[in-house]
Amino acid sequence: MDSLDHMLTDPLELGPCGDGHGTRIMEDCLLGGTRVSLPEDLLEDPEIFFDVVSLSTWQEVLSDSQREHLQQFLPQFPEDSAEQQNELILALFSGENFRFGNPLHIAQKLFRDTEPAESGFV
């Protein structure tokens, strides 16, 4: 995760919240072998999650090297692999089902429904 390390370790600026104290409830998660603290609202509110985990974030926020790093986790195809991976990314972010549902929708549901001690949360 070298190309994403700074995104996972740089502190987030915490702006004002509903309580006016500038604090947010954070949840510790394990991503690979890296522990990160993520805002609870990001994990539990589908609207926030999908505003962040979106095609526009993929296209406009991530650098080329970050996208290339993440693409190595996608399936490799014997022909036109880059084109087929791009089609897969579009399908993923557009909410298409992949055999048993959309992986992003499944992940968000697991984040929302899982207690912190379960499935990758610390």
Q: What is the DSSP string of the chain?
A: -GGGHHHHHSPPP----TTSSS---EEEEEETTEEEEEEHHHHH-HHHHHHHSSHHHHHHTS-HHHHHHHHTTSPP-SSSHHHHHHHHHHHHHTT---SSS-HHHHHHHHHHHS-TTSTTB-
- 103, two tokens: 């992986």
- 108, two tokens: 């968000």
Q: What is the pLDDT of residue 111?
A: 80
Q: What is the pLDDT of residue 122?
A: 44
Rounded to whole angstroms, the Cα distance separating 90 from 87 reads 5
Domain boundaries, the chain: 43-113
Q: What is the pLDDT of residue 6?
A: 52
Q: Which residues pair with 34 in a beta bridge?
A: 31
Rounded to whole angstroms, the Cα distance separating 70 from 63 reads 11
Predicted structure pTM score: 0.67
Q: What is the pLDDT of residue 120?
A: 52
pLDDT tens per residue, the chain (122 residues)?
A: 455 455 545 554 444 444 445 567 898 877 777 888 889 999 889 999 999 999 999 999 999 999 999 999 888 888 888 899 999 999 999 999 988 899 999 988 888 876 554 445 44
